[in-house]
A and B are shown apart, each in its own frame.
Chain A
Amino acid sequence: GQNIDQPTEMTATEGAIVQINCTYQTSGFNGLFWYQQHAGEAPTFLSYNVLDGLEEKGRFSSFLSRSKGYSYLLLKELQMKDSASYLCAVMDSNYQLIWGAGTKLIIKP
Chain B
Amino acid sequence: GAVVSQHPSRVICKSGTSVKIECRSLDFQATTMFWYRQFPKKSLMLMATSNEGSKATYEQGVEKDKFLINHASLTLSTLTVTSAHPEDSSFYICSARALIVAGGLTDTQYFGPGTRLTVL
Contact = CB atoms under 8 A, between A and B. Distances in A.
Interface of A: 8, 33, 35, 37, 42-45, 48, 85, 87, 89, 94-99, 101-102
A97 B108 CA distance: 17
Nearest to B107: A39
Contact of A95 (B10, B41, B42, B108): B10
Interface residues of B, number: 21
B42 A99 contact: no
A94 B9 contact: yes
Contact of A44 (B9, B43, B108): B43
Contact of A102 (B10, B34, B108): B108
B111 A89 contact: yes
Interface string B1-24: 010000001100000000000000
Given A85-B108, A95-B10, A97-B93, A43 B113 contact: no
Contact of B42 (A45, A94, A98): A45
A48 B43 CA distance: 10
Contacts of A44: 43-44
A62 B45 CA distance: 22
A49 to B, nearest CB: 11
A12 B44 CA distance: 27
A99 B9 contact: no
B89 interface: no
Given A42-B44, A44-B44, A97-B93, 12 more contacts: A35-B44, A37-B109, A42-B46, A45-B42, A45-B43, A87-B111, A89-B111, A95-B114, A96-B114, A97-B114, A101-B106, A102-B108
Contacts of B116: 95
B107 to A, nearest CB: 9
Contacts of A35: 44
Contacts of B10: 94-95
B110 interface: yes
Contacts of A8: 106
B9 A97 contact: no
B58 interface: no
